[in-house]
Chains A and B, each alone.
Chain A
Amino acid sequence: MGGVSIMEVEGATIGDVLGSLTVKYPAIKGQLLNDDGTLHRFLNVYINDDDVRYLGGVEAPVANEDEITLLPAVAGGAA
């Protein structure tokens, strides 16, 4: 994202946080969220290493100092 890999963003939920990101970087909007506001299928979002899809998706609550990681879905093989 513009060469930035770590940044601080405001928001009470994952949806808010991704929304704030797309305000800063409008070009990535389609990479993060679908038109209906759900997560892009090839995007994995983690709160403190926990996948938000199993914590309420874009509704997952975010607390102060939580670390949020965005990673693309990739194939594993040996597990």
Chain B
Amino acid sequence: MARYASVLELIGNTPVVDISGLSPKPNVTILAKLEGRNPAGSVKDRVALSLIEAAERDGVLIPGKPDQILIEPSSGNTGIALAMVCRLRGYHLKVVLPTNVSPERKQLLLAFGAEIIDSPGSEGSNGAVRLAHVLAEENPEWTFLYQYANPANPLAHYRTTGPEILSDVPEITHFVAGLGTSGTLMGVGKFLKEQKPGVQIWAVEPPSGEMVDGLRSLEDGYIPPIFTDNLGTELLDRKVVVRPRESIEWTRRLTEVGLFAGISSGAIMAGAVKCANLIPDGETATIVTIVCDDGWKYLSTGAWSDDIDDVVERAKKIIYF
């Protein structure tokens, strides 16, 4: 057993496991990278550490200096990861959180000492981003790391997640991940395309669902600046939307290979299966997917135990991506 000086040293170097038992085609291997193994429980640990370290390098944050306040919009996992790192560094974190995230996410934020600022659930993540901008402008002394636009977000994946995947799976042909801030796809995608240009990069996005109600018009739409900055439309080969029912069905099916994963990972798995189904018969392929987090934070949704119709209706109202 290894011994570490800090929890922060446990971030990254996550395992990859073969889950081809769920592949629709015998010649298509599917491998899952288990990001729930990160200490604060999600892929966002990598991003949080990268954002904080970049701010400290730039002198925006100073470890040990009292009364330093950060503000960040998050649907949960970035907030939780930032809260953990801030707790260790002594920073005070305010997370702008839509009211319709799972209660476990709120509990975890509070556990790590973060302060929650509610944003309207009907406006989804877009509403949290908008409110964080307003508050950051009103309080210029607060640090706004802004994961949607901060190059340290995709850089975390370019420097760690991407190299880990290529090292563990040199035969990779397809990478499938979720599109939220786009940090994972931009960072891993850029690294893989540089090292192995033939690799296909597939994005999976959740349906906007109830979130559409919060948009007054298309002009309220939002594309993360890091997606635009990294020429995301050119970098991605394909983007598919996955519906709540498919997300839940595949979240459940992941348990067949022993994985108790969060609902966004079920959505990504559904995308990986769509990808596998397009591989011509007789051709081999190796798809790598991301399991963003484990299922613990979603137990209250009843995703594994309740009638699927009820769960799907509930899933339309919560943010799980």
Contact = CB atoms under 8 A, between A and B. Distances in A.
A75 B222 contact: yes
Most B C-beta atoms less than 10 A away, residue of A42, A51, A71, A79: A79
A61 B219 CA distance: 27
Contact of A76 (B75, B217, B290): B75
Given A76-B125, A77-B125, A71 B207 contact: yes
B239 A75 contact: no
A74 B78 contact: no
Interface residues of B, number: 57
B208 interface: yes
Q: Is the interface of B mostly helix, strand, loop or mixed?
A: mixed
B242 interface: yes
Interface residues of A, number: 22
Interface of B: 42-44, 73-78, 124-126, 128-129, 148, 177-181, 184, 203-208, 211-212, 215, 217-224, 233, 236-243, 262, 264, 268, 274, 290, 292-293, 319-321
29 contacts: A31-B217, A41-B221, A42-B219, A42-B220, A42-B221, A42-B222, A42-B223, A44-B241, A46-B240, A50-B239, A50-B240, A51-B241, A53-B239, A54-B233, A71-B241, A73-B223, A74-B221, A75-B126, A76-B180, A76-B205, A76-B206, A77-B73, A77-B125, A77-B128, A77-B181, A77-B321, A78-B74, A78-B78, A79-B178
